[in-house]
Amino acid sequence: MQTVAITGATGLLGSTLMFELAARGFLPVALKSDVREAQALKDEVATVVPTWVVHTAAMTNVAECEKNPDAARAINGEGTVHVIDAARAVGARVIYISTASVFKGDKGDYTEEDQPEPTNVYNQTKVEGESAALRYERAMVLRLNLVGIHPNGSRGRNFLEWLVDTIGANKDLTLFNDQRVNALSNWTIARLIVQCIKRDIHESVLHIGTSDVVSKAGFAKLVLAHCPEYRGVVSEMSVDSIGDGAVRPKEMWLNTDKASRLFGPMPTAAEEVELILSKARAKVDKV
């Protein structure tokens, strides 16, 4: 039984991965050390002695990163250095969870060979994390866009959770129609990570995402198609209207040809919405 250590194990992806790994015969271990505490993290990993470390912990709120760049760099940049150092000390493989938004976002269809051009503090610190991972020959950078609802229920902390909570309250929606993504659910991403581990995939950088590309507004409409009782008003606007000083890339979609060759066809956005909502309904039915 392989031991897989996970940073950020209580978050959306980390908690899903804990469940998926256990269901498929692995021993997942939630790392409790703060990634900013290098020695504590190194000591904990040395005790666990994992075969793999999946690094999901990050400061992801774009506006907060812009306001607190030192904190963002300490977690996303230097924290990743600490994770890599701890993994290297025990010879563990590493999967570093990065983001499609490391690119400028002016064209989309980014391949693994395209060079990142970060446009804000969050994106820059994720590039710093990528650089740390790529200096370790046993690490892989996994770029993606993540959407989903936490396995323990919505916490209102991401786009999908905000969306379903707003729909459930019949409040009006304002959606971005010029930011396009090929986002995957937490469940599909966790499944693909398990496949990477099980098959011992060796790629320095890998892009995963849906087979089609939709705007944030388009993704929301796929969710709304499952919510016939919704009575709120839906309006659309540009992501530039946020006006918090952070420049957000618009064409945030990845070329997934390599992933399709490795794992087979990627799902569609509509299939991912159905998966997310079916998991959420199953959670409610158990309560």
- Residue 122 annotated among the catalytic residues of the structure: yes
DSSP structure string for 134-146 = HTSTTEEEEE--E
Q: Rounded to the nearest 10 degrees, what angle do helices 38-48 and 79-90 cross at? A: 30
Q: Which of 256, 276, 16 is nearest to 147 (CA)?
A: 276
CA 141 to chain centre: 12
Q: Which residue type is seen at 165?
A: D
Q: Which of 45, 34, 58 is nearest to 5 (CA)?
A: 45
Copy the structure tokens of residue 85: 């150092």
Residue 213: CB partners within 8 Å, gap ≥ 6?
108, 180, 181, 182, 253
Positive or negative torsion for Cα 241, 242, 244, 249: negative
CA dihedral (177, 181, 187, 193) in degrees, to 10, reads -160
Copy the structure tokens of residue 46: 């040395």
DSSP structure string for 98-132 = --GGGS--SS--B-TTSPP---SHHHHHHHHHHHH
Quick check: 56 and 16 in contact, CB under 8 A?
A: no
Of 110, 122, 136, 230, the catalytic one is 122
Q: Which residues carry out catalysis?
A: 122
